[in-house]
C-alpha cells in the first residue's frame, strides 16, 4: 500500500493506493505542520483517523508533502514519527512546494506559488526545485495567504478600517472578543490556522470594494516580494498557483499579474489529486 499525503497547517489529506494505483481509501486529519506542532500533537492528529490506524502495518511507502517540512529539524522529527508509526514502510518527507510543483506542472518547468493557509514561491526546471527566499513563516512573511488575510481583516476590524456593514457581518461570523482572539493567538496551537479561518469571510464577500482592494494589496505584496525574485524565469515560463486562496482569488490574481507583467498558468485548488496522478504515473 502506498500512502500519499498533502498537509497544510489547517488540514491534511491522505490517499492510499494499491500497487496498481487504484485508490483504497481517502481520509483527512487536522494539519500536520512539524514546525509549529509537537511530536505528541502530530501523532495525536494522525491517529485520529481510523483508516490510518487500521492499515498502518500494510503501508509499504509513504510520500508526505507538507508545510513546515522545508527546515531540516522539523522535517526529520516528522520523518522519524512516520517511520516509527508505519514501521513496514519506506518514508519520504518533502516540503509543500514539491507537492505544489508536482500537482501544477508535474515534470515540466514553471514558477509555482502556494496561496493557502501560508504562502510560498519556487521555480522548477522539471527536475530541481529552487527557492530564492527562505520563508520565516506567518509572523514575518506569508503575504496573500489565508493567515495574512485573516490578520488583516482582524486588524481592520479593530482599527475600524473596515466598512461598517462588513464590520457587523464580520462580528456575527466570528467571535471578535479581544480575550478570545488573544487566547487563540498566544495560548493555542496553530495560530496561523486560526487566523486563516477568518479569510473565509473574503470569499463570502468577493464583490465588496473593500474586499477587492484587500485581495489586490496582498497579491501585490506577494508578487513584489516573492514572484519577482524569479525575474528571469517569469520571462520564459508561466506562473502557476496552488491552494484555496488562489482558487477563490483567481480573478484578482490575473489582474495583479497584468500589473507585474507575468503570465498566469494553472490554478489548482487542492494539490492532492495532482499528487496522486503524479505518483500513479511513476507506477506505470
* pLDDT per residue as tens digits for the range 18-51: 989 999 999 999 999 998 899 999 999 999 999 9
With respect to residue 159, please indicate whether it lies within any of the assigned structural domains. Answer: no
**Residue at grid coordinates 494499491:** 18
Count of domains observed in the chain: 1
- What are the Cα distances from residue 86, in Å, to 22, 43, 63? 20, 12, 12
Q: What is the pLDDT of residues 133-179, one digit of tens each?
A: 988 888 999 999 999 999 999 999 999 999 999 999 999 999 999 99
Return per-residue pLDDT of the chain as tens, 284 residues.
999 999 988 889 999 999 899 999 999 999 999 988 999 999 999 999 999 999 999 999 999 999 889 889 999 999 999 999 999 999 999 998 999 999 999 999 999 999 998 999 999 999 999 999 988 888 999 999 999 999 999 999 999 999 999 999 999 999 999 999 999 999 998 899 999 999 999 999 999 999 999 999 999 999 999 999 999 999 999 999 999 999 999 999 999 999 999 999 999 998 888 889 888 888 86
With respect to residue 126, please indicate whether it lies within any of the assigned structural domains. Answer: no
* pTM, rounded to two decimals: 0.85
SS3 254: helix
Per-residue confidence (pLDDT) for residue 242, from 0 to 100: 94
Q: Is 64 exposed, middle or buried (0-12, 13-18, 19+ CB in 10 A)?
A: buried
With contact defined as beta carbons under 8 Å apart, do 238 and 264 qualify? Answer: yes
With respect to residue 54, please indicate whether it lies within any of the assigned structural domains. Answer: yes
Q: What is the DSSP letter of 69?
A: -
Q: Which helix (H) or strand (E) holds 4?
A: strand 2-7
Query: Residue 60 is part of a domain; what is its CATH number?
Result: 3.30.420.40
With contact defined as beta carbons under 8 Å apart, do 256 and 223 qualify? Answer: yes
Q: Is 212 exposed, middle or buried (0-12, 13-18, 19+ CB in 10 A)?
A: middle
Per-residue confidence (pLDDT) for residue 282, from 0 to 100: 81
With respect to residue 182, please indicate whether it lies within any of the assigned structural domains. Answer: no
Domain carrying residue 69:
2-100+272-283
With respect to residue 255, please indicate whether it lies within any of the assigned structural domains. Answer: no
d(CA 45, CA 43): 5
With respect to residue 32, please indicate whether it lies within any of the assigned structural domains. Answer: yes
With respect to residue 125, please indicate whether it lies within any of the assigned structural domains. Answer: no
Count CA atoms within 13 Å of residue 232 on its CB side. Answer: 2
Per-residue confidence (pLDDT) for residue 284, from 0 to 100: 63
Q: What is the DSSP letter of 242?
A: E
250-260 and 209-225 helices, crossing angle to 10°: 50
Per-residue confidence (pLDDT) for residue 190, from 0 to 100: 85
With respect to residue 233, please indicate whether it lies within any of the assigned structural domains. Answer: no
Q: Supply 169's cell numbers.
A: 457581518
Amino acid at each position: 500500500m502506498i500512502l500519499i499525503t498533502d498537509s497544510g497547517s489547517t488540514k491534511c489529506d491522505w490517499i492510499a493506493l494499491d500497487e496498481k494505483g487504484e485508490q483504497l481509501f481517502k481520509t483527512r486529519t487536522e494539519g500536520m505542520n512539524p514546525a509549529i506542532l509537537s511530536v505528541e500533537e502530530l501523532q495525536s492528529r494522525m491517529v485520529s483517523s481510523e483508516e490510518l490506524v487500521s492499515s498502518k502495518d500494510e503501508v509499504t511507502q509513504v510520500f508526505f508533502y507538507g508545510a513546515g517540512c522545508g527546515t531540516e529539524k522539523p522535517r526529520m522529527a516528522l520523518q522519524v514519527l512516520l517511520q516509527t508509526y508505519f514501521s513496514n514502510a519506506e518514508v519520504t518527507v518533502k516540503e509543500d512546494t514539491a507537492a505544489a510543483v508536482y500537482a501544477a506542472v508535474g515534470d515540466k518547468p514553471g514558477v509555482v506559488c502556494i496561496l493557502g493557509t501560508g504562502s510560498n514561491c519556487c521555480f522548477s526546471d522539471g527536475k530541481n526545485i529552487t527557492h530564492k527566499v527562505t520563508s520565516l513563516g506567518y509572523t514575518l512573511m506569508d503575504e496573500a495567504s489565508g493567515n495574512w488575510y485573516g490578520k488583516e481583516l482582524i486588524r481592520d476590524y479593530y482599527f475600524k478600517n473596515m466598512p461598517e456593514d462588513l464590520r457587523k457581518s464580520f462580528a456575527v461570523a466570528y467571535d471578535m472578543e479581544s480575550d478570545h482572539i488573544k487566547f487563540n493567538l498566544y495560548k493555542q496551537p496553530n495560530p496561523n490556522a486560526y487566523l486563516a479561518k477568518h479569510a473565509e469571510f473574503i470569499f463570502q464577500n468577493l464583490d465588496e470594494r473593500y474586499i477587492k482592494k484587500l485581495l489586490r494589496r496582498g497579491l501585490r505584496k506577494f508578487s513584489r516580494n516573492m514572484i519577482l525574485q524569479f525575474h528571469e524565469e517569469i520571462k520564459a515560463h508561466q506562473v502557476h498557483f496552488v491552494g484555496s486562496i488562489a482558487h477563490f482569488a483567481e480573478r484578482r490574481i490575473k489582474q495583479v499579474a497584468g500589473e507585474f507583467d507575468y503570465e498566469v498558468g494553472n490554478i489548482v485548488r487542492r494539490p492532492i489529486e495532482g499528487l496522486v496522478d503524479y505518483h500513479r504515473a511513476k507506477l506505470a
